[in-house]
Chain A
Amino acid sequence: MDIVKKIGFVLLGLFIVLNWGLLMAGIMRKIIARVSMRRGIKIFQPYINLIKNYSIRSQLTHGIMFYLGPVFRLSGGVGIFLFMPMIYGSDIWNNFSFTGDLILIAYFMFFGMLGMALGAGEGGHPYSAIGISRGLAQFTAIELPLTLAILSIAIQYQSLSITEIVAAQQGSILNWTLFTNPLATGAAMISFLGAMGHSPFNVVMAPQENPVGPPTEYHGTFLGVLQTNRAILHVVEAVLYMNLFFGGANNWIELIVKTFFIYFWSVFVGMVFPRFRVDQSIPWLLKLPVLIGVAAIIVFIV
């Protein structure tokens, strides 16, 4: 009975996260529009797009991997959610988190991309293959500063459990990793810009030179699944950063406010800076952010 209750709350949490993800996407698009002096989309436009994509009547497939690509992507997003403690100190909302979940979540972040690579590769569209190889190359460079930051935090708190890391940050704002380990936070927040797919690092998703990147062949329900995943992924990745660097959340309101501002950071930078090309973004990510990440580790070893 206990496990049934648990699964019920996990599904409810997933529902809340999905809705907050869609709503946040709408709000951010609205903010971007107002900055560029437009009215912009309706706030509920992501919902309408989702319904529309699920209601496309005819669909075609290129093979089994083409089906499984979006499924892998979605299981990557849902996988992160399943092992992520959402609310600190709550038995209900810490999902299936356990000691060492940080490693598993870092793995899940790449898992979806790899599934997508297999699926898009079978799509047969040559630009899908180019898009996904660019995407994977850039995502590898994005993961590097994050991994260094995670190692730094693991050394700092002597733990790989997110719950314990959050627990260590309680008490005062000055206990947040942001203040106790600013170097790791800096490296990770730069890597966050890439993970969210906003301006400086979104050329892999850019139209024109490479039609909409990896999902070029995906349409209808396939695309709907990808959009669902993106909404979930944006929230859970922001929750990961919130847990690691910004003291976690004690209730849903706090979670919503914090994830909003963490996600807004990538939108803010995206509105100010133009795009990197892939051959510019990878060397850039491998220089300064990696150095900051290495410095964050050295500080704690020495």
Chain B
Amino acid sequence: MTEELKDNNIEQVEDKFLAPENRKHTVTGPEGEIIHVDPLQDYYCNERPKAEDPRNKIVEKFLNWARAESLWVLGFGTGCGSIEIPPLLSPRFDAYRFGVAMRATPRQSSVIIISGYLAVKTLKRVIRSYEQMQNPKFVIALGSCTINGGMYWDSYNTINRLDYYLPVDVYVAGCMPRPEAILAAFDKLKTRIKEGRAEGANEYVEKFDWYKANQKKVIKNWNMPDYNW
């Protein structure tokens, strides 16, 4: 690996932030053959995301109804607002009756709640999680911090406006919004989905370069592929 790096100065600079397991390395096979592995090329897909057009009007209306009535939320708490999520599922607020359920994996989720301030370090993880979710996917931004930075507006390590980095469907103002406000947000999101206006995933694909430029502006140690699926 070191020899390769000497050949190419640029790579040496980038290498500073690369996680050890993501560096180029060689693996010896069972029959003694040497395999060169470049994890960023080999383990991830380099393809750009594609927009998935809605189907014809009537079918899409029905499917949108199903999507709206079955919102699976990714269990990802970013800021102080994540403490408002567990009460949602308690008997007092009981979000299950609105078809809301929590999932532990981004593959199966359709909603991600950015719950409060978003540190740059967390933004990187949020982007990875968001990109691993499958096409009809929605973002709920919770709290003032996601709208204009809130009380963290001049902080050195949090972002101020979430919609520079991810396409947001519903904002919930407040610091902190109560669980009732989150329920109202789900209601609003349902209306948007049923009207066919919640096309955030396609919007993200269409403005992919703009979003990537914004994201890379704040995330200095960008040591992952451009699109993580």
Residues of chain A whose beta carbon lies under 8 Å from any beta carbon of chain B:
33, 36-42, 45, 48-49, 51-52, 55-60, 207-208, 211-212, 215-220, 223
Q: Would you give 24 A-B contacts (Cβ < 8 Å), ordered by A?
A: A36-B91, A38-B91, A38-B96, A38-B97, A41-B97, A42-B69, A42-B99, A45-B70, A45-B99, A48-B66, A51-B63, A51-B66, A52-B67, A56-B136, A57-B134, A57-B201, A60-B229, A207-B75, A207-B102, A207-B104, A208-B104, A211-B105, A218-B107, A219-B134
Number of interface residues of B (CB under 8 A): 26
CB of A65, distance to nearest CB on chain B (Å) = 17
Q: Is B103 an interface residue (CB 8 A)?
A: yes
- Please report the C-alpha to C-alpha distance between residue A37 and residue B97 in the assembled complex, in whole angstroms: 12
CB of B121, distance to nearest CB on chain A (Å) = 21
Interface secondary structure of A, over-half rule: loop
Q: Which residues of B contact A45 (CB under 8 A)?
A: 69-70, 99
Residues of chain B from 51 to 105 with CB closer than 8 A to chain A in the complex = 52, 62-63, 66-67, 69-70, 75, 91, 94, 96-97, 99, 102-105
Q: Is B135 an interface residue (CB 8 A)?
A: yes
Contact of A219 among B50, B66, B69, B107 (CB under 8 A): B107
Q: Is B157 an interface residue (CB 8 A)?
A: no
Select from chain B the residue with minimum beta-carbon distance to A40. Answer: B96
Select from chain A the residue with minimum beta-carbon distance to B43. Answer: A124
CB of A174, distance to nearest CB on chain B (Å) = 43
A38 touches B136 (CB 8 A): no
B136 touches A48 (CB 8 A): no
- Please report the C-alpha to C-alpha distance between residue A225 and residue B102 in the assembled complex, in whole angstroms: 20
Q: Is B214 an interface residue (CB 8 A)?
A: no
Q: Which residues of B contact A211 (CB under 8 A)?
A: 104-105
CB of A187, distance to nearest CB on chain B (Å) = 33
Contact of A37 among B50, B91, B110 (CB under 8 A): B91
Select from chain A the residue with minimum beta-carbon distance to B93. Answer: A38
Take A38-B94, A40-B96 as given contacts and tell me if A48 and B70 are in contact as well, using a CB distance cutoff of 8 Å.
Answer: yes
- Please report the C-alpha to C-alpha distance between residue A223 and residue B103 in the assembled complex, in whole angstroms: 13
Select from chain A the residue with minimum beta-carbon distance to B54. Answer: A57
CB of A177, distance to nearest CB on chain B (Å) = 38
